[in-house]
């Protein structure tokens, strides 16, 4: 047997192979936390308490509304009620307390209730509708606003197509540009309550403005009576204001608020009695304001009591967006893949510069394959 000679090889003399890049492990859907639908909701809304409460994204005026009501009522109970109980009756704080609770409850229900948001069409539903109404055959052509006509109480009503939600809006539905949602029986977007006012929360909104009118007028009358009683005996109004300066603050707030609130309550009382919405009244949909013939309101029962009962006392429709439901597995997979692609796209943009990428930015696999030897393996100096 021939003798074999072995030579010891210095491990440091060998070139260290470039490690292959390892992508971050893709999280399994079973291992990650199951998502609820409110977490991937496409509209411009904010959710609280795991999707139980919904408000508009721009709801910064709501704390101001609540703060004005709380400050005025607290000042009334602290500085006016003790004097009025002593000189008039104990029922004044009781009446004020009932009205205050009713106002705050109605306000919170209006603000945190789904106004009647319609879910957007799924990709299959949107493709089916587009196939029916777009016969141009071009994928880049966007046709003008499309409509569909339906009959309601022997009257033709046009349904507009919503390009955002990819569906024909049901009757009395409009797309809110602030919340980016189609709202059923859309009345208006109210920044004072921080939410849209629609089919599911209009009764709460109407209760809020009517009860607020009573509360504001009640506090204004009680404060005026308080100051009048203190000014008796020739002491004058200035003496009364010096004795109770907080009453002057309440008087100013109520004086400048009661007229607008009373006017708003009267306007919405007219809408309820006519079975109209603010959106329909402004556009003149059924009153001839838009320049067309007065076709008459197809949703009115031609009876004030019946209209009021239909708007305010009907059964509460269920929410259609199912915000606390779980996202299906297919949609969850698409969401995860989208989140993983974003960092990779950002990395590609970083190396896509004029003059080519730096050697440190090139993937090591290109160097190992020898596609760019002069760049990946620069000559070492002697």
- Evaluate whether 323 touches 47 at the Cβ level (below 8 Å): yes
Q: Are 205 and 69 in contact (CB under 8 A)?
A: no
How many degrees, rounded to 5, is the angle at CA 208 between CA 202 and CA 211?
Answer: 135
Residues 6+ apart with CB under 8 A from 3: none
Contact predicate 241/276, CB 8 Å: no
Helices (H) and strands (E) in the chain, counts: 12, 9
In angstroms, the CA 30 to CA 14 distance is: 44
Take residue 157 and report the two structure tokens written for it. Answer: 């009503």
Q: Say how far apart CA 172 and CA 160 lie, in whole Å.
A: 10
Q: How far is Cα of residue 201 from the mean position of the Cα atoms in its chain?
A: 13
- Write out the two tokens for 179: 């919340």
**What is the C-alpha separation between 256 and 238, in angstroms, rounded?**
21
d(CA 99, CA 253): 17
Q: What are the φ/ψ torsions at residue 27 (nearest 5 degrees)? A: -65, 135
| Residue 370, CB-side half-sphere exposure with 13 Å CA sphere | 0
Q: Is 190 a catalytic residue?
A: yes
DSSP H or E segment with residue 82: helix 81-87
Cα distance between residue 20 and residue 16, in whole Å: 12
Q: What is the full DSSP assignment across 120-155?
A: PPPHHHHHHHHHHH--S--SS--PPP-EEEEEETTE
Please, which residues bridge with residue 155 across strands? 152
Out of 190, 196, 222, 254, pick the active-site residue.
Answer: 190
Residues with catalytic roles: 190
């Amino acid at each position: 047997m021939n003798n074999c000679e072995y030579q010891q090889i210095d491990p440091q003399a060998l070139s260290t192979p470039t490690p292959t890049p390892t992508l971050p492990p893709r999280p399994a859907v079973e291992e990650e936390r199951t998502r609820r639908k409110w977490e991937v909701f496409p509209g411009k809304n904010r959710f609280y308490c795991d999707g139980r409460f919904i408000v508009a994204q721009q709801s910064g005026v709501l704390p101001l509304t609540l703060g004005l009501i709380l400050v005025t009522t607290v000042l009334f109970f602290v500085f006016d009620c003790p004097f009025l109980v002593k000189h008039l009756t104990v029922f004044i704080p009781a009446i004020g307390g009932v009205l205050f609770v009713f106002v705050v409850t109605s306000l919170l229900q209006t603000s945190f209730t789904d106004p009647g948001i319609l879910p957007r069409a799924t990709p299959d539903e949107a493709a089916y509708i587009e196939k029916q109404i777009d016969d141009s055959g071009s994928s880049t052509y966007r046709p003008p606003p499309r409509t569909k006509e339906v009959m309601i109480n022997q009257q033709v009503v046009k349904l507009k197509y919503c390009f955002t939600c990819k569906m024909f809006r049901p009757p009395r539905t409009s797309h809110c540009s602030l919340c980016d949602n189609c709202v059923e029986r859309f009345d208006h977007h109210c920044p004072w309550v921080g939410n849209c006012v629609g089919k599911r929360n209009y009764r709460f909104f109407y209760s809020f403005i009517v009860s607020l009118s009573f509360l504001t007028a009640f506090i204004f009358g009680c404060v005026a009576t308080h100051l009048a009683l203190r000014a008796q005996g020739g002491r004058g109004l200035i003496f009364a204001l010096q004795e109770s300066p907080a009453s002057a603050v309440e008087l100013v707030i109520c004086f400048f608020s009661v007229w607008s609130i009373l006017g708003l309550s009267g306007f919405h009382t007219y809408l309820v009695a006519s079975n109209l919405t603010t959106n329909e009244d402004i556009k003149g949909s059924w009153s001839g304001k838009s320049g067309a013939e007065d076709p008459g309101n197809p949703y009115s029962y031609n009876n004030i009591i019946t209209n009021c009962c239909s708007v305010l006392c009907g059964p509460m429709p269920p929410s259609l967006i199912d915000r606390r439901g779980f996202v299906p597995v297919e949609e969850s997979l698409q969401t995860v893949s989208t989140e993983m692609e974003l960092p990779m796209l950002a990395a590609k943009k970083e190396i896509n510069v004029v003059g080519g990428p730096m050697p440190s930015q090139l993937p090591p696999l290109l160097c190992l394959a020898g596609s760019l030897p002069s760049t990946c393996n620069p000559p070492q100096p002697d």
